[in-house]
Protein backbone atom coordinates (compact mmCIF):
# COMPACT_ATOMS: atom_id res chain seq x y z
CA UNK A 1 0.00 0.00 0.00
CA UNK A 2 1.35 3.44 -0.93
CA UNK A 3 2.01 5.59 2.17
CA UNK A 4 0.14 8.88 2.10
CA UNK A 5 1.05 12.12 3.88
CA UNK A 6 -0.95 12.75 7.05
CA UNK A 7 -3.87 15.14 6.66
CA UNK A 8 -3.24 18.86 7.05
CA UNK A 9 -4.70 20.97 9.78
CA UNK A 10 -7.64 22.99 8.56
CA UNK A 11 -6.31 25.84 6.43
CA UNK A 12 -7.80 29.28 6.68
CA UNK A 13 -9.08 31.19 3.70
CA UNK A 14 -6.21 33.63 4.26
CA UNK A 15 -3.72 30.77 3.83
CA UNK A 16 -5.42 29.70 0.60
CA UNK A 17 -5.31 33.26 -0.75
CA UNK A 18 -1.64 33.58 0.14
CA UNK A 19 -0.80 30.30 -1.61
CA UNK A 20 -2.66 31.40 -4.75
CA UNK A 21 -0.68 34.64 -4.73
CA UNK A 22 2.61 32.80 -4.23
CA UNK A 23 1.86 30.46 -7.14
CA UNK A 24 0.96 33.39 -9.42
CA UNK A 25 4.17 35.27 -8.57
CA UNK A 26 6.36 32.18 -8.97
CA UNK A 27 4.72 31.22 -12.27
CA UNK A 28 5.21 34.70 -13.72
CA UNK A 29 8.80 34.76 -12.50
CA UNK A 30 9.37 31.35 -14.09
CA UNK A 31 8.07 32.62 -17.41
CA UNK A 32 10.58 35.48 -17.31
CA UNK A 33 13.46 33.25 -16.24
CA UNK A 34 12.56 30.59 -18.80
CA UNK A 35 12.35 33.27 -21.49
CA UNK A 36 15.88 34.39 -20.69
CA UNK A 37 17.19 30.84 -20.64
CA UNK A 38 15.39 29.92 -23.87
CA UNK A 39 16.68 33.00 -25.68
CA UNK A 40 20.28 31.92 -25.02
CA UNK A 41 19.75 28.15 -25.42
CA UNK A 42 21.65 27.72 -28.69
CA UNK A 43 23.60 30.97 -28.61
CA UNK A 44 26.01 29.88 -25.88
CA UNK A 45 27.53 27.09 -27.97
CA UNK A 46 27.75 29.34 -31.02
CA UNK A 47 29.37 32.14 -29.04
CA UNK A 48 31.95 29.82 -27.47
CA UNK A 49 32.86 28.59 -30.94
CA UNK A 50 33.09 32.16 -32.23
CA UNK A 51 35.32 33.43 -29.42
CA UNK A 52 37.52 30.33 -29.09
CA UNK A 53 37.72 29.59 -32.82
CA UNK A 54 37.32 25.89 -31.99
CA UNK A 55 33.96 24.17 -32.55
CA UNK A 56 35.02 21.20 -30.41
CA UNK A 57 34.78 23.48 -27.35
CA UNK A 58 31.15 24.44 -28.01
CA UNK A 59 29.86 21.99 -25.39
CA UNK A 60 31.58 24.00 -22.66
CA UNK A 61 28.72 26.51 -22.75
CA UNK A 62 26.20 23.98 -21.48
CA UNK A 63 28.76 22.42 -19.14
CA UNK A 64 29.59 25.72 -17.46
CA UNK A 65 25.91 26.63 -17.18
CA UNK A 66 25.15 23.31 -15.48
CA UNK A 67 28.13 23.55 -13.14
CA UNK A 68 27.19 27.13 -12.30
CA UNK A 69 23.68 26.03 -11.41
CA UNK A 70 25.08 23.23 -9.24
CA UNK A 71 27.53 25.48 -7.39
CA UNK A 72 24.94 28.21 -6.79
CA UNK A 73 22.15 25.88 -5.63
CA UNK A 74 23.37 25.50 -2.04
CA UNK A 75 24.29 29.20 -1.42
CA UNK A 76 20.89 30.30 -2.73
CA UNK A 77 19.01 27.88 -0.50
CA UNK A 78 21.14 28.91 2.50
CA UNK A 79 20.11 32.49 1.78
CA UNK A 80 16.49 31.32 1.56
CA UNK A 81 16.75 29.64 4.95
CA UNK A 82 18.19 32.78 6.55
CA UNK A 83 16.31 35.54 4.72
CA UNK A 84 13.45 33.87 2.84
CA UNK A 85 12.59 32.93 -0.73
CA UNK A 86 12.03 36.54 -1.76
CA UNK A 87 15.66 37.58 -1.34
CA UNK A 88 17.02 34.24 -2.51
CA UNK A 89 15.13 34.19 -5.81
CA UNK A 90 15.78 37.89 -6.39
CA UNK A 91 19.49 37.36 -5.77
CA UNK A 92 19.56 34.43 -8.20
CA UNK A 93 18.05 36.60 -10.92
CA UNK A 94 20.60 39.37 -10.21
CA UNK A 95 23.50 36.90 -10.46
CA UNK A 96 22.10 35.70 -13.80
CA UNK A 97 21.98 39.33 -14.99
CA UNK A 98 25.63 39.71 -13.95
CA UNK A 99 26.47 36.54 -15.89
CA UNK A 100 24.84 37.89 -19.06
CA UNK A 101 26.70 41.19 -18.65
CA UNK A 102 30.03 39.38 -18.23
CA UNK A 103 29.28 37.39 -21.40
CA UNK A 104 28.67 40.60 -23.37
CA UNK A 105 31.97 42.08 -22.13
CA UNK A 106 33.88 38.86 -22.81
CA UNK A 107 32.46 38.53 -26.33
CA UNK A 108 33.32 42.16 -27.13
CA UNK A 109 36.86 41.76 -25.78
CA UNK A 110 37.34 38.22 -27.14
CA UNK A 111 38.38 36.83 -23.72
CA UNK A 112 37.52 33.13 -23.66
CA UNK A 113 38.00 32.39 -19.94
CA UNK A 114 35.89 35.42 -19.01
CA UNK A 115 33.20 34.11 -21.36
CA UNK A 116 33.14 30.76 -19.57
CA UNK A 117 32.91 32.58 -16.23
CA UNK A 118 29.87 34.44 -17.50
CA UNK A 119 28.29 31.18 -18.64
CA UNK A 120 28.76 29.78 -15.14
CA UNK A 121 27.16 32.83 -13.51
CA UNK A 122 24.28 32.62 -15.95
CA UNK A 123 23.59 29.19 -14.46
CA UNK A 124 21.98 31.08 -11.56
CA UNK A 125 18.92 31.30 -13.81
CA UNK A 126 18.67 27.51 -13.81
CA UNK A 127 19.30 27.37 -10.05
CA UNK A 128 16.46 29.77 -9.29
CA UNK A 129 14.15 27.88 -11.67
CA UNK A 130 14.76 24.74 -9.62
CA UNK A 131 14.34 26.55 -6.30
CA UNK A 132 11.05 28.08 -7.47
CA UNK A 133 9.40 24.66 -7.66
CA UNK A 134 10.26 24.07 -4.01
CA UNK A 135 9.04 27.56 -3.06
CA UNK A 136 5.62 26.49 -4.34
CA UNK A 137 5.48 23.85 -1.57
CA UNK A 138 6.45 26.04 1.41
CA UNK A 139 2.88 26.69 2.57
CA UNK A 140 1.04 24.27 0.28
CA UNK A 141 -1.27 21.75 1.97
CA UNK A 142 -0.12 18.15 1.58
CA UNK A 143 -3.22 17.21 -0.42
CA UNK A 144 -2.21 19.59 -3.27
CA UNK A 145 1.56 19.89 -2.71
CA UNK A 146 2.62 17.91 -5.79
CA UNK A 147 0.08 19.71 -7.97
CA UNK A 148 1.29 23.13 -6.82
CA UNK A 149 4.91 22.17 -7.49
CA UNK A 150 3.96 20.84 -10.92
CA UNK A 151 2.24 24.10 -11.89
CA UNK A 152 5.53 25.96 -11.48
CA UNK A 153 7.34 23.32 -13.54
CA UNK A 154 4.64 23.70 -16.18
CA UNK A 155 5.02 27.49 -16.34
CA UNK A 156 8.57 26.95 -17.62
CA UNK A 157 6.98 25.77 -20.88
CA UNK A 158 6.11 29.30 -21.95
CA UNK A 159 9.65 30.65 -21.78
CA UNK A 160 11.18 27.45 -23.14
CA UNK A 161 8.96 27.56 -26.22
CA UNK A 162 9.03 31.31 -26.89
CA UNK A 163 12.70 31.89 -26.05
CA UNK A 164 14.32 29.92 -28.90
CA UNK A 165 12.06 31.71 -31.39
CA UNK A 166 13.65 35.02 -30.43
CA UNK A 167 16.94 34.08 -32.10
CA UNK A 168 16.28 36.24 -35.19
CA UNK A 169 14.95 39.31 -33.35
CA UNK A 170 17.75 39.07 -30.79
CA UNK A 171 20.39 39.20 -33.52
CA UNK A 172 18.72 42.28 -34.98
CA UNK A 173 18.76 43.85 -31.52
CA UNK A 174 22.43 43.00 -31.09
CA UNK A 175 23.37 44.59 -34.41
CA UNK A 176 21.38 47.72 -33.52
CA UNK A 177 23.33 48.00 -30.27
CA UNK A 178 26.66 47.40 -32.02
CA UNK A 179 27.28 44.11 -30.20
CA UNK A 180 29.18 41.09 -31.54
CA UNK A 181 27.35 38.29 -33.33
CA UNK A 182 25.35 35.84 -31.19
CA UNK A 183 25.07 38.20 -28.20
CA UNK A 184 21.65 39.78 -28.73
CA UNK A 185 19.93 36.94 -26.90
CA UNK A 186 21.91 37.73 -23.76
CA UNK A 187 20.51 41.27 -23.80
CA UNK A 188 17.03 39.75 -23.86
CA UNK A 189 18.07 37.44 -21.03
CA UNK A 190 19.20 40.42 -18.94
CA UNK A 191 15.87 42.19 -19.46
CA UNK A 192 13.84 39.06 -18.71
CA UNK A 193 15.80 38.31 -15.54
CA UNK A 194 15.48 41.94 -14.41
CA UNK A 195 11.70 41.68 -14.73
CA UNK A 196 11.84 38.38 -12.87
CA UNK A 197 13.86 39.92 -10.03
CA UNK A 198 11.32 42.74 -9.73
CA UNK A 199 8.42 40.25 -9.70
CA UNK A 200 10.01 38.17 -6.91
CA UNK A 201 11.07 41.18 -4.83
CA UNK A 202 7.71 42.92 -4.96
CA UNK A 203 5.38 39.93 -5.15
CA UNK A 204 6.67 37.53 -2.48
CA UNK A 205 5.31 39.50 0.48
CA UNK A 206 4.74 37.87 2.94
CA UNK A 207 7.53 35.45 2.23
CA UNK A 208 6.22 31.86 1.92
CA UNK A 209 9.23 30.15 3.52
CA UNK A 210 9.40 32.57 6.44
CA UNK A 211 5.66 32.09 6.92
CA UNK A 212 6.09 28.31 7.01
CA UNK A 213 9.04 28.49 9.41
CA UNK A 214 7.25 30.89 11.76
CA UNK A 215 4.57 28.25 12.30
CA UNK A 216 7.07 25.60 13.33
CA UNK A 217 9.60 27.75 15.13
CA UNK A 218 12.10 30.02 13.43
CA UNK A 219 15.45 28.76 12.22
CA UNK A 220 17.17 31.09 14.65
CA UNK A 221 15.48 29.32 17.57
CA UNK A 222 16.82 25.91 16.55
CA UNK A 223 20.32 25.13 17.85
CA UNK A 224 21.94 23.68 14.74
CA UNK A 225 19.81 22.79 11.72
CA UNK A 226 21.27 19.82 9.89
CA UNK A 227 23.03 20.42 6.60
CA UNK A 228 21.84 18.77 3.41
CA UNK A 229 24.61 16.15 3.32
CA UNK A 230 24.00 15.25 6.96
CA UNK A 231 20.32 14.78 6.18
CA UNK A 232 21.19 12.43 3.31
CA UNK A 233 23.26 10.32 5.70
CA UNK A 234 20.69 10.17 8.49
CA UNK A 235 17.28 10.23 6.78
CA UNK A 236 16.70 7.26 4.43
CA UNK A 237 13.56 8.80 2.88
CA UNK A 238 15.52 11.95 2.02
CA UNK A 239 18.36 9.92 0.52
CA UNK A 240 16.00 7.88 -1.65
CA UNK A 241 14.15 10.96 -2.88
CA UNK A 242 17.32 12.86 -3.80
CA UNK A 243 18.73 9.83 -5.61
CA UNK A 244 15.53 9.46 -7.64
CA UNK A 245 15.72 13.13 -8.67
CA UNK A 246 19.38 12.89 -9.66
CA UNK A 247 19.33 9.52 -11.44
CA UNK A 248 16.17 10.33 -13.42
CA UNK A 249 17.76 13.58 -14.55
CA UNK A 250 20.97 11.79 -15.58
CA UNK A 251 18.98 9.34 -17.72
CA UNK A 252 17.13 12.16 -19.47
CA UNK A 253 20.20 14.32 -20.10
CA UNK A 254 22.39 11.46 -21.35
CA UNK A 255 19.95 10.39 -24.06
CA UNK A 256 18.63 13.86 -24.90
CA UNK A 257 22.09 15.39 -25.35
CA UNK A 258 23.18 12.71 -27.84
CA UNK A 259 19.98 12.64 -29.90
CA UNK A 260 20.88 15.57 -32.21
CA UNK A 261 24.29 14.01 -32.87
CA UNK A 262 22.76 10.61 -33.62
CA UNK A 263 20.05 12.00 -35.90
CA UNK A 264 22.33 14.26 -37.95
CA UNK A 265 24.92 11.54 -38.47
CA UNK A 266 22.12 9.32 -39.80
CA UNK A 267 20.94 11.86 -42.34
CA UNK A 268 18.19 13.72 -40.46
CA UNK A 269 17.62 17.33 -41.45
CA UNK A 270 17.86 20.17 -38.95
CA UNK A 271 14.08 20.50 -39.23
CA UNK A 272 13.63 16.93 -37.99
CA UNK A 273 16.14 17.49 -35.20
CA UNK A 274 14.38 20.71 -34.16
CA UNK A 275 10.96 19.04 -34.17
CA UNK A 276 12.26 16.12 -32.11
CA UNK A 277 13.81 18.38 -29.48
CA UNK A 278 10.75 20.66 -29.34
CA UNK A 279 8.43 17.72 -28.72
CA UNK A 280 10.86 16.41 -26.10
CA UNK A 281 10.75 19.75 -24.23
CA UNK A 282 6.95 19.73 -24.50
CA UNK A 283 6.95 16.26 -22.94
CA UNK A 284 9.11 17.53 -20.08
CA UNK A 285 6.83 20.39 -19.07
CA UNK A 286 3.42 20.42 -20.74
CA UNK A 287 1.83 17.53 -18.79
CA UNK A 288 3.53 18.17 -15.44
CA UNK A 289 0.21 19.26 -13.79
CA UNK A 290 -1.24 15.87 -14.74
CA UNK A 291 1.61 14.11 -12.97
CA UNK A 292 1.24 16.47 -9.99
CA UNK A 293 -2.44 15.56 -9.71
CA UNK A 294 -1.54 11.88 -10.03
CA UNK A 295 1.07 12.15 -7.27
CA UNK A 296 -1.48 13.77 -4.96
CA UNK A 297 -4.12 11.14 -5.74
CA UNK A 298 -2.13 7.91 -5.92
CA UNK A 299 1.03 8.71 -3.97
CA UNK A 300 4.48 10.14 -4.71
CA UNK A 301 6.31 6.81 -5.05
CA UNK A 302 3.63 5.38 -7.32
CA UNK A 303 4.01 8.32 -9.70
CA UNK A 304 7.79 7.85 -9.65
CA UNK A 305 7.16 4.30 -10.84
CA UNK A 306 4.94 5.63 -13.64
CA UNK A 307 7.84 7.88 -14.64
CA UNK A 308 10.28 4.98 -14.64
CA UNK A 309 7.97 2.92 -16.85
CA UNK A 310 7.88 5.81 -19.33
CA UNK A 311 11.67 6.19 -19.19
CA UNK A 312 12.13 2.46 -19.72
CA UNK A 313 9.78 2.55 -22.72
CA UNK A 314 11.79 5.43 -24.18
CA UNK A 315 15.09 3.59 -23.70
CA UNK A 316 13.74 0.39 -25.20
CA UNK A 317 12.65 2.35 -28.27
CA UNK A 318 16.14 3.84 -28.63
CA UNK A 319 17.54 0.32 -28.33
CA UNK A 320 15.24 -1.29 -30.87
CA UNK A 321 14.53 1.66 -33.17
CA UNK A 322 17.73 3.69 -33.26
CA UNK A 323 17.72 3.68 -37.08
CA UNK A 324 14.12 4.91 -37.34
CA UNK A 325 13.55 8.65 -37.07
CA UNK A 326 9.85 8.29 -36.09
CA UNK A 327 10.75 5.84 -33.32
CA UNK A 328 13.52 8.11 -32.03
CA UNK A 329 11.06 11.02 -31.99
CA UNK A 330 8.56 8.90 -30.05
CA UNK A 331 11.31 7.84 -27.66
CA UNK A 332 12.23 11.48 -26.95
CA UNK A 333 8.62 12.36 -26.18
CA UNK A 334 8.39 9.43 -23.74
CA UNK A 335 11.75 10.45 -22.27
CA UNK A 336 10.38 13.92 -21.51
CA UNK A 337 7.19 12.53 -20.00
CA UNK A 338 9.11 10.07 -17.83
CA UNK A 339 11.38 12.84 -16.59
CA UNK A 340 8.37 15.00 -15.77
CA UNK A 341 6.53 12.32 -13.77
CA UNK A 342 9.69 11.33 -11.88
CA UNK A 343 10.87 14.89 -11.15
CA UNK A 344 7.52 16.27 -10.00
CA UNK A 345 6.82 13.36 -7.65
CA UNK A 346 10.36 12.88 -6.32
CA UNK A 347 10.82 16.63 -5.72
CA UNK A 348 7.67 16.49 -3.60
CA UNK A 349 9.17 13.51 -1.76
CA UNK A 350 12.29 15.58 -1.06
CA UNK A 351 10.17 18.30 0.54
CA UNK A 352 8.12 15.87 2.64
CA UNK A 353 11.01 13.74 3.88
CA UNK A 354 12.17 16.21 6.56
CA UNK A 355 10.74 18.85 8.88
CA UNK A 356 10.09 22.40 7.64
CA UNK A 357 13.24 23.97 9.10
CA UNK A 358 15.45 21.36 7.36
CA UNK A 359 13.78 21.56 3.96
CA UNK A 360 15.81 24.42 2.40
CA UNK A 361 19.11 22.66 3.15
CA UNK A 362 17.90 19.39 1.69
CA UNK A 363 16.34 21.11 -1.33
CA UNK A 364 19.61 22.87 -2.12
CA UNK A 365 21.51 19.61 -1.85
CA UNK A 366 18.93 17.95 -4.09
CA UNK A 367 19.43 20.61 -6.76
CA UNK A 368 23.21 20.24 -6.43
CA UNK A 369 22.96 16.46 -6.91
CA UNK A 370 20.50 16.88 -9.79
CA UNK A 371 22.79 19.23 -11.71
CA UNK A 372 25.91 17.17 -11.05
CA UNK A 373 24.13 14.00 -12.20
CA UNK A 374 22.99 15.84 -15.33
CA UNK A 375 26.52 17.04 -16.03
CA UNK A 376 27.91 13.54 -15.49
CA UNK A 377 25.24 12.00 -17.70
CA UNK A 378 25.98 14.42 -20.51
CA UNK A 379 29.74 14.00 -20.18
CA UNK A 380 29.62 10.18 -20.20
CA UNK A 381 27.03 9.95 -22.97
CA UNK A 382 29.50 11.09 -25.64
CA UNK A 383 32.06 8.32 -25.05
CA UNK A 384 29.20 5.80 -24.67
CA UNK A 385 27.79 6.87 -28.02
CA UNK A 386 31.19 6.36 -29.63
CA UNK A 387 31.68 2.94 -28.05
CA UNK A 388 28.26 1.28 -28.27
CA UNK A 389 26.14 3.61 -30.40
CA UNK A 390 22.77 5.18 -29.67
CA UNK A 391 21.05 1.84 -29.07
CA UNK A 392 23.77 0.80 -26.63
CA UNK A 393 23.42 4.12 -24.79
CA UNK A 394 19.72 3.43 -24.32
CA UNK A 395 20.35 -0.11 -23.13
CA UNK A 396 22.99 1.07 -20.66
CA UNK A 397 20.68 3.70 -19.21
CA UNK A 398 18.16 0.96 -18.37
CA UNK A 399 20.46 0.03 -15.48
CA UNK A 400 19.86 3.46 -13.97
CA UNK A 401 16.10 3.11 -14.45
CA UNK A 402 16.21 -0.25 -12.66
CA UNK A 403 18.06 1.37 -9.75
CA UNK A 404 15.48 4.15 -9.45
CA UNK A 405 12.65 1.63 -9.63
CA UNK A 406 14.09 -0.24 -6.64
CA UNK A 407 14.33 3.02 -4.68
CA UNK A 408 10.70 3.89 -5.49
CA UNK A 409 9.51 0.42 -4.48
CA UNK A 410 11.32 0.74 -1.16
CA UNK A 411 9.57 4.08 -0.60
CA UNK A 412 6.19 2.37 -1.04
CA UNK A 413 6.80 -0.15 1.74
CA UNK A 414 4.80 0.24 4.96
CA UNK A 415 6.79 2.37 7.38
CA UNK A 416 8.52 4.34 4.63
CA UNK A 417 6.15 7.30 4.75
CA UNK A 418 7.63 10.77 5.37
CA UNK A 419 8.32 11.45 8.99
CA UNK A 420 6.57 14.81 8.81
CA UNK A 421 4.82 17.17 6.43
CA UNK A 422 4.87 20.21 8.72
pLDDT at 294 (0 to 100): 96
CATH class, domain 229-422, is: mainly alpha
pLDDT at 418 (0 to 100): 52
The full set of domain ranges for the chain reads 12-215, 229-422
Asked if 12-215 and 229-422 have one fold, the answer is yes
Q: pLDDT tens, position by position, for the chain (422 residues)?
A: 444 544 444 357 888 899 999 999 999 998 888 777 766 766 787 788 889 888 667 768 878 888 899 999 999 999 999 999 999 999 999 999 999 999 999 999 999 999 999 999 999 998 998 999 999 999 999 899 999 999 999 987 777 667 666 767 878 888 899 999 889 889 988 999 999 999 999 999 999 999 998 876 434 334 345 588 889 999 999 999 999 999 999 999 889 888 887 888 888 886 787 788 778 888 898 899 999 999 999 999 999 999 999 999 999 999 998 889 899 999 999 999 999 999 999 999 999 999 888 999 999 999 999 999 988 888 888 888 888 998 999 999 999 999 999 999 998 775 555 544 44
pLDDT at 41 (0 to 100): 65
pLDDT at 54 (0 to 100): 81
Q: Provide Rg for the chain, Cα atoms.
A: 21
Q: What is the CATH number of domain 12-215?
A: 1.20.1250.20
Which tens digits make up the pLDDT trace of 73-94?
999 999 999 999 999 999 999 9
Amino acid sequence: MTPQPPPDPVSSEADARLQRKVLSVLALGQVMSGLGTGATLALGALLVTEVSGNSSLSGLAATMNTLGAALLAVPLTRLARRRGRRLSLTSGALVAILGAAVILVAASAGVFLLLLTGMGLLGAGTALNLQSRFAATDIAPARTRARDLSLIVWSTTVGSVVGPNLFGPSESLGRALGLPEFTGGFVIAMCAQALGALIYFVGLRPDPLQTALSRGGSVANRPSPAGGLALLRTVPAARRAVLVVGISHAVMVSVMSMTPVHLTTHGATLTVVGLTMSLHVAGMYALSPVFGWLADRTGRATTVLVGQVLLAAALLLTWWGAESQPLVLTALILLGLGWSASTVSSSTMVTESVAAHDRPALQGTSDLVMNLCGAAGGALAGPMLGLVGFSGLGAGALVLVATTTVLALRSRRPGSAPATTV
